[in-house]
Structure 1
Amino acid sequence: MRKTVILASLILAITASPLWAGKTPETRIKESLDTINRMSAQDDVETMGYVIEKGVAVAIFPSVVKAGFVLGGQYGEGILLRHDSKTGKWYGPSFYNIAGGSFGLQIGVQSTALVLAVVNEDGMKGFRGDNFTLGGEFAVAAGPVGRRTSAATDINLNTPIYSYSMSKGLFAGLSLDGSTINHDPSANELYWGKKTSPVEALDKPATSKEIAPLIKALNNLIKKGK
């Protein structure tokens, strides 16, 4: 039993520790592009495109790794782009990490590509600060999927944040309630060339050559929802 607890603690430490982090902003953007392209290739992605079109931002975490044996932990690095649904323009990015833990009879390792569609300004409040916890005030729900004509017309979009994921590994899914999203000031500084707060980053037009392919992919995904 003692060995099991030690093993679980080591897995949790490796998974959640900041030392395990370190992807460059450019790598995060490229992996985010791959995530959006893979999701866009799915047959039932139309409603996801509709939700993103109507929303105010998209957070992309290309690889949220969850590992556990009795205890578990999860960690991932990603970006957020603000979206003006009236003009179709994009702003940012700002960089974030997601981390959390869980307890239960579980064993395995899972890597999940995660996209959070931020529907309204209530959902954006957390991203404008240094950190916040999903659930409660910042409610998150599984995003609706399906064809635009059959599903999206019935969506009220009242939930602040909708989640979409593609998973590989031994876990069936990823629980987001209780997970903490933290602003990554080091990544923001590397990308923008100076210390930049989330508010400042999300007011800057997303026009750099590094971000352009991702903006194109997001716009293509939106077209699927029209």
Structure 2
Amino acid sequence: MKNRLFLSAWSLLFLLGCLSAAPRCFASWNLQETVDEAAAVIHQFKQEGKIPKSVFDRAKGIAFLRMTKGGLVISGEYGHGLVVQRLPNGGWSGPSAISSSAVGIGAQIGASETNYIFILNTDRAVRRFARGGKVHMTGEMSGVAGPESEHEVFLKPKGAVYVYRSTEGLFGGIAFTGSDLREAPDTNERYYHRAVTAGEILSGKVAPPRKAKPLLDALNAPYPK
């Protein structure tokens, strides 16, 4: 009897772990929440001056990703985010949804969240997101810790992708490699009310909806003097 109870409890714990670490990022989600989160984080980074103005001004595109870690028995890491491209007229495209996930073995009680900002420094880096599908953060696309001051901008070798993070009040640049970021077409379809590709969104062929205004305002907002 005790053995049966033990096995039942273990099975329940295992099931809870699986559910808590399930790759929720593959399902469609509310992109508006991510838009609002990205707007707040970008505004905060600007106000804190953690991304040098020259880095932000020269960005070809910007991606945002909120990663959550947690789980029981089976640990999981998953995230939702978006990417935008700077258009030839100096404005910004609408947001295209992206996701990421990973599952591993090992008990981890509780959860933690980290916000990432990816500065896409080259047209090639932006095209990798615009073509849809999966973007491997390896090789040329490996995200390197971005410079945190104008002085560092001149000292640090330029990478295709600069990465910055914010977690529990901690700001700064950090490397981000070995992960995959995926287009989330179902989420884009819900947000734009029709089937659209990442390329159509990022090229500006699909106009940003009014509800993307908080994000566009944050991207266009000037740095404090």
Aligned residue for 1:214, secondary structure, equals helix
Q: Residue by residue, what CA displacement relative to the aligned partner does 1:98-150 show, whole Å, maximum 9, x if unpaired? A: 2235678977632001111111123223312211221224221111112x2x2
Q: Which residue number corresponds to residue 26 of structure 1? A: 32
Measure the CA separation in 2 of the matches of 1:215 and 1:19: 24
2:122 pairs with 1:120 = yes
In structure 2, list runs of 5 or more residues that go unmatched: 1-6
Q: CA deviation at 1:20?
A: 8.5
Taking a change above 3 Å as real, the CA distance of residues 102 and 137 of structure 1, as seen in their structure-2 partners, is: farther
In structure 1, list runs of 5 or more residues that go unmatched: none
Q: CA deviation at 1:72?
A: 4.0
Q: Which residue number corresponds to residue 36 of structure 1? A: 42
Size of the alignment, in residue pairs? 213
TM-score by length of 2: 0.77
Taking a change above 3 Å as real, the CA distance of residues 33 and 160 of structure 1, as seen in their structure-2 partners, is: same
Q: Which residue number corresponds to residue 3 of structure 2? A: none
Measure the CA separation in 1 of the matches of 2:207 and 2:148: 27
- 1:179 partner letter: S
Taking a change above 3 Å as real, the CA distance of residues 220 and 153 of structure 1, as seen in their structure-2 partners, is: farther
- 1:56 partner letter: K
- For residues 152-171 of structure 1, what are the structure 2 equivalents within 5 Å? 152-157=153-158, 159-168=159-168
Taking a change above 3 Å as real, the CA distance of residues 131 and 105 of structure 1, as seen in their structure-2 partners, is: same
Shifted more, 19-28 versus 212-221: the winner is: 19-28
Q: Which residue number corresponds to residue 53 of structure 1? A: 57
Measure the CA separation in 2 of the matches of 1:220 and 1:186: 30
- 2:189 partner letter: E
Q: Residue by residue, what CA displacement relative to the aligned partner does 1:169-200 show, whole Å, maximum 9, x if unpaired? A: 9xxx9873221111111111112221111101
Aligned residue for 1:92, secondary structure, equals coil
2:85 to 77, 82, 86: 82
Measure the CA separation in 1 of the matches of 2:24 and 2:191: 19
Is this contact kept in 2: 1:68–1:106, CA < 8 A? yes
Measure the CA separation in 1 of the matches of 2:20 and 2:70: 9
Measure the CA separation in 2 of the matches of 1:38 and 1:125: 27
Q: CA deviation at 1:153?
A: 3.3
2:58 pairs with 1:66 = no
Q: Which residue number corresponds to residue 139 of structure 1? A: 142
Q: Which residue number corresponds to residue 198 of structure 1? A: 198
Taking a change above 3 Å as real, the CA distance of residues 71 and 125 of structure 1, as seen in their structure-2 partners, is: farther
Is this contact kept in 2: 1:71–1:102, CA < 8 A? yes
Q: Which residue number corresponds to residue 210 of structure 2? A: 209
Q: CA deviation at 1:218?
A: 1.6
Measure the CA separation in 1 of the matches of 2:22 and 2:174: 15
Measure the CA separation in 2 of the matches of 1:29 and 1:41: 18
Aligned residue for 2:211, secondary structure, equals coil
Measure the CA separation in 1 of the matches of 2:15 and 2:119: 32
Percent of matched pairs sharing the same residue: 24
Measure the CA separation in 2 of the matches of 1:174 and 1:53: 20
| Bigger-Rg structure (1/2) | 2
Shifted more, 71-80 versus 25-34: the winner is: 71-80
Taking a change above 3 Å as real, the CA distance of residues 176 and 12 of structure 1, as seen in their structure-2 partners, is: farther
